[in-house]
């Protein structure tokens, strides 16, 4: 039995029983107290046993969350104890969150949030696939209680966790650190865990000015499970209804840092950043709006499109902003983490194009106190070298 399974089997057991169990040893040594032992000493021993039981509490993030957000054991404990993360199998009413339909059980496993993003993982049990099939799902998710309201809108992505993560060099590897190995058909996913279960992961970003993450209700509705064929077409195999209403945490540990430094190889000044262990939002002031507009036009034409607001024509490729984009960090000890930024959004905050913003989720949990500099791509077209801006 793994330590996670052992721990989860003890959820709900009275702390006094755990405290007694913590004094057990395989040698079965029996300690007898002398009757002359003082009352104060007895109190100390009781407190020590209670502290031992409390120290044994451990928060295990699920396989999917641990893969989507690389994190140390200490980071998982800290975010969970701060209330920024929830581990559902630890809850006394966990069974009420489990939904079974068509012989398949889906249940939330772990949630991690900040002001901008929510990371959610679900365990899926009873859906059988082979080791060489890629699972998929029809799933819908939104915030709040009114699905038709603009306040429910989110940016998001979701998928079955395939057992991989991105290493410090930006390359995909398995979560145990081993390199990817593909079969004769090029399949490399490790979707099934040792029990034959799957995990489905979702990353959502609040839409600025419309929706909010903290303290909101996340609705997630699964309506079909299936696999992807050779042409990446989803084939539904089991239709059902697995619906969830999850109250998201109200706690965030974001910090705002004023910078006001120019970003090398750009016409932008980094004015400030708002950063948490799982995401970042940076704001820019564009110096010389006219030149910036010309640069954006040049970038757009390089890919065969035009940007609305620069030429006044219809948008053909509005993904290009010309703004710097966050890529990673340099730590105070000199360690470079160039590929931390994950999905997010970019854009201008006003019609004058004098101010911009870049928001990114992370692919791991970051220790804010250890960050010395932010690494940027000077623009969002690519074919450029990373530049560095020191923030503290």
Three-class SS of 262-328: ECCCCCEEEEEEEEECCEEEEEEEECCHHHHHHHHHHHHHHCCCCCCCCCCCCCCCCCCCCCCEEEE
Q: pLDDT confidence of 57, banded at 50, 70, 90?
A: low
Q: pLDDT confidence of 97, banded at 50, 70, 90?
A: very high
- CATH class for domain 63-247? mainly beta
pLDDT digits (tens, 9 = 90+) for 19-35: 333 333 333 222 233 33
The residue-averaged pLDDT of 332-355 equals 90
Pure H helices in 56-176: 63-68, 73-82
d(CA 273, CA 257): 5
**Where are the domain boundaries for CATH 2.60.40.1630 in the chain?**
63-247
The residue-averaged pLDDT of 119-124 equals 98
- Tally of residues, the chain: 392
Cβ–Cβ under 8 Å, residues 13 and 92: no
Of the ranges 47-51, 142-146, 238-242, which one carries the lowest mean pLDDT score?
47-51
Per the DSSP assignment, residues forming a β-bridge with 70 are 364
Pure H helices in the chain: 3-9, 15-21, 39-55, 63-68, 73-82, 289-302
The residue-averaged pLDDT of 43-62 equals 56
pLDDT above 90: residue 1: no
- Structure tokens belonging to residue 261: 């430094």
Q: pLDDT confidence of 76, banded at 50, 70, 90?
A: very high
Task: Give the E-state strand segments of 33-97 in sequence order.
Answer: 85-87
């Amino acid at each position: 039995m793994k330590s996670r399974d052992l721990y989860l089997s003890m959820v709900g057991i009275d702390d006094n029983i755990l405290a007694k169990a913590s004094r057990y040893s395989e040698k079965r040594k029996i300690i007898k107290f002398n009757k002359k032992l003082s009352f104060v000493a007895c109190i100390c021993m009781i407190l020590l046993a209670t502290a031992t039981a409390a120290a044994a509490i451990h928060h295990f993030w699920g396989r999917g969350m641990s893969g989507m957000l690389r994190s140390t054991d200490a980071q998982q404990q800290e975010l969970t104890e701060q209330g920024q993360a929830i581990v559902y199998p630890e809850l006394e009413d966990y069974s009420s969150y489990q939904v079974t339909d068509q012989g398949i059980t889906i249940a939330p496993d772990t949630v991690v949030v900040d002001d901008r993003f929510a990371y959610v993982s679900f365990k899926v049990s009873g859906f059988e696939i082979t080791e060489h099939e890629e699972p998929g799902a029809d799933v819908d998710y939104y915030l709040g209680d009114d699905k038709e309201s603009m306040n429910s809108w989110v940016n998001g992505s979701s998928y079955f966790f395939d057992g991989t993560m991105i290493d410090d060099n930006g390359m995909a590897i398995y979560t145990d650190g081993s390199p990817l190995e593909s079969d004769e058909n090029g399949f490399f996913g490790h979707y099934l865990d040792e029990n034959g279960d799957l995990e489905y992961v979702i990353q959502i970003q609040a839409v600025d000015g419309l929706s909010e993450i903290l303290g909101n209700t996340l609705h997630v509705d699964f309506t079909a499970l299936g696999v992807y064929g050779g042409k990446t077409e989803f084939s539904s195999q089991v239709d059902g209804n697995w619906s969830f209403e999850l109250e998201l945490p109200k706690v965030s540990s974001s910090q705002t840092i004023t910078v006001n430094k120019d970003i090398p190889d750009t016409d932008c000044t980094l004015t400030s950043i708002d950063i948490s262990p799982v995401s970042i939002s940076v704001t820019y002031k564009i110096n010389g709006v006219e030149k910036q507009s010309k640069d954006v036009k040049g970038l757009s034409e390089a890919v065969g499109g035009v940007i609305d607001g620069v030429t006044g024509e219809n948008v053909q490729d509005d993904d290009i902003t010309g703004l710097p984009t966050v890529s990673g960090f340099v730590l105070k000890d000199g360690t470079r983490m160039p590929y931390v930024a994950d999905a997010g959004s970019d854009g201008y905050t006003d019609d004058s194009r004098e101010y911009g913003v870049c928001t990114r989720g992370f692919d791991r949990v970051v220790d804010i106190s250890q960050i010395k500099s932010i690494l940027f791509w000077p623009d969002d077209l690519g074919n450029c070298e990373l530049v560095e801006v020191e923030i503290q």
